[in-house]
Amino acid sequence: MKTSEDLKNIVKEKYSKIALQDKAVNASSCCGATTPSNKIYNIMMDDYNEVEGYNNEADLGLGCGLPTQFAHINKGDTVIDLGSGAGNDCFVARYEAGEMGKVIGIDFTEAMINKARKNTEKMGYNNVEFRFGDIDDMPVSDNVADVIVSNCVLNLVPDKEKVIKEIYRVLKPGGHFSISDIVLVGDLPETLRKDAEMYAGCVAGAIQKSEYMGFIEVAGFTNITLQKEKEITIPEDILSNYLTPAEMEDIKRNNTGIFSITVYAEKPGGKTADSPSVNKQVQKEACCGADSDCC
pLDDT digits (tens, 9 = 90+) for 83-113: 999 999 999 999 999 999 999 999 999 999 9
Give 177 or 1, the one with higher predicted confidence: 177
**Which pLDDT value is given to residue 282?**
52
pTM over 0.85: no
**Which pLDDT value is given to residue 57?**
78
Q: Using the CB atoms, write b or e for 174-204: b if 16+ within 10 Å.
A: bbbbbbbbbbbeeebbeebeebbbbbbbbbb
The confidence band for 46, taking pLDDT boundaries of 50, 70 and 90, is low
**Which pLDDT value is given to residue 41?**
43
pLDDT digits (tens, 9 = 90+) for 9-26: 877 777 777 777 665 555
**Which pLDDT value is given to residue 21?**
63
At 180, which helix (H) or strand (E)?
strand 171-185
How much of the chain exceeds pLDDT 90, in percent?
Answer: 46
The contacts of residue 9 (CB under 8 Å, 6+ apart) are: none
Task: Say how far apart CA 295 and CA 285 lie, in whole Å.
Answer: 9
Task: Say how far apart CA 48 and CA 100 lie, in whole Å.
Answer: 24
Between the CA of residue 143 and those of 49, 173, 174, 269, what are the distances in Å? 33, 7, 10, 11
Query: What superfamily would CATH give domain 4-267?
Result: Vaccinia Virus protein VP39 (3.40.50.150)
At 293, which helix (H) or strand (E)?
none
Backbone angles phi, psi at 65, to 5 degrees: -175, -170
**Which pLDDT value is given to residue 156?**
86
Answer for the pair 199, 11: CB distance below 8 angstroms, yes or no.
Answer: yes
Task: Say how far apart CA 26 and CA 260 lie, in whole Å.
Answer: 17
Answer for the pair 286, 262: CB distance below 8 angstroms, yes or no.
Answer: no
Average pLDDT score, the chain: 81
Indicate the domain borders of the chain. Answer: 4-267
**Which pLDDT value is given to residue 146?**
98
Give 153 or 30, the one with higher predicted confidence: 153
